[in-house]
Structure 1
């Protein structure tokens, strides 16, 4: 399954409007429960280019074949989303 334009717009919306990164990821999961979602600290993604940015928050498109995950800039290749934020550690609210 690839991410479509509506989903990309929803990612941008939750990055802009959610009070916390935790809330952004939770809102996304509620809308699209079939799309795998990760929330991690931005330091863990420092060598990757985000697909979307809003202030300190970033979203990365990724694809997973089960065991391996790779970041892609193309929504049409992605079957998962990674949310990250400067200063946020993995799993923090």
Structure 2
């Protein structure tokens, strides 16, 4: 897993690749890349929302769970996987 910021950067990168395919002659690959970009954008949004909650916003267990996940990801970041299974143009 990655941090929200890394998901955001990955979403932007994948969206650019999708745009290149959509401008070319392969809209099917463009849609596939766009779908993957949307997944990363959604994960970035979820991480941003989780990072801004306070104990007053949710029950204490939920707040503790979210911040445990966030703290673990910050302490043990994993690199984004390289997509060698797909042709990037």
TM-score range normalised by the length of the shorter chain: under 0.3
More strand by share: 1
Q: Which has the larger radius of gyration?
A: 2
* Greater share of helix: 2
* TM score, norm. by length of structure 1: 0.26
